[in-house]
Chain A
Amino acid sequence: MFQNVGEMLVLFFRTLAALPLAWRQRQKVADQFFEIGNASLLMVCILSFFIGSVIALQTGPLLVEHGLASYVGGVVGYSICRELAPVMMAILIAGRIGSSMAAEIGSMRVYQEIDALRTMNINPIHYLVLPRLIALSAALPLLVIFAILVGWLGGAFVCVANTRIEISFAAFLSALRDVVEISDVANGVFKSFVFAVIIGVVSCHQGLITRGGPRGIGRSVTKAVVNSIVLIVIFDYLLTRALQK
Chain B
Amino acid sequence: MNPPTSNQQGVSVQVRGLHKSFDGQEVLKGLDFDVQAGEIFVIMGPSGSGKTVLLKHLIGLEQPDAGDVLIQGQSIQSPEVMGRFRMAMVFQSGALLSSLTVGENVGLYLSEHRLMPASEIARIVAEKLEVVGLKGTEDKMPNELSGGMKKRVAIARALVIEPQLILYDEPTSELDPLSAVVVAEEILHLQERIRVTSLVVSHDRDLAFGVADRMAVINEGRILTIGTPEEVRRNPDPLVQQFLRADFKHSNERKEHEKHA
**B98 CB–A CB distance under 8 Å:** yes
Cα distance A120–B96 in the bound complex, in angstroms: 12
Chain B residues with Cβ under 8 A from A104's Cβ? Answer: 99
Q: Give the B interface residue count (CB, 8 A).
A: 22
Chain A positions within 8 Å of B113 at CB level: 121-122
B91 contacts A115, C-beta separation under 8 Å: yes
Contact with A along B49-90 (1 / 0, CB 8 A): 000000010011100000000000000000000110001110
How far, in angstroms, from A115 to B108 measured CA to CA in the complex? 14
State the majority secondary structure of interface residues on A: helix
With an 8 A cutoff between CB atoms, is B161 at the interface? yes
Taking A111-B95, A113-B95 as contacts, is the C-beta distance between A119 and B112 under 8 angstroms? no
Q: How many residues of A contact B (CB 8 A)?
A: 16
Query: Is B173 located at the chain interface by the 8 A CB criterion?
Result: no
B109 nearest CB across to chain A (Å): 5
**When the two chains form the complex, which single residue of A107, A113, A115, A120 contacts B56, counting CB atoms closer than 8 Å?**
A115
**A127 (CB) vs chain B CBs: closest residue:** B112
CB-defined contacts of B97 to chain A, threshold 8 Å: 108, 113, 116-117
Q: Is A174 an interface residue (CB 8 A)?
A: no
Which residue of chain B is the closest to A113 with respect to CB atoms? B97
**B93 at the A/B interface (Cβ < 8 Å)?**
yes
Interface residues of B in 88-140 (CB under 8 A from A): 88-89, 91, 93, 95-99, 108-109, 112-114
Determine if A113 and B96 form an interchain contact, defined as CB atoms under 8 angstroms apart.
Answer: yes
Tell me if B112 and A116 are in contact (CB < 8 A): no
CB-based contact A119/B87 at 8 Å: yes
Instruction: Specify the main secondary structure of chain B where it touches its partner.
Output: loop
- Cα A190 to Cα B87 in complex, Å, equals 44
B18 to chain A, nearest CB (A): 18
Residue of B nearest to A122 (CB): B112
Query: Scoring A residues 117 to 153 as 1 if CB is less than 8 Å from chain B, else 0, what string do you get?
Result: 1111110000100000000000000000000000000
Query: Does A112 interact with chain B (Cβ within 8 Å)?
Result: yes
Listed residue (A104, A116, A127) with the most chain B CB atoms within 10 angstroms of its CB = A116
How far is A127 from B97 in the complex, measured between Cα atoms in Å? 12
B108 with A122: CB separation less than 8 A: yes
Task: Establish whether residues A112 and B95, one from each chain, have CB atoms under 8 Å apart when the complex forms.
Answer: yes
CA distance A104 to B59 in the complex (A): 24
In the complex, A233 Cα to B60 Cα: how many Å? 39
Known: A115-B61, A116-B95, A127-B112. 16 other contacts (CB 8 A): A104-B99, A108-B98, A111-B93, A111-B95, A113-B97, A115-B56, A115-B91, A119-B61, A119-B88, A119-B89, A120-B88, A120-B112, A120-B161, A121-B82, A121-B87, A122-B108
Which residues does B use to contact A, with CB under 8 Å? 56, 59-61, 82-83, 87-89, 91, 93, 95-99, 108-109, 112-114, 161
Q: List A residues at the B interface (Cβ < 8 Å).
A: 24, 104, 107-108, 111-113, 115-122, 127
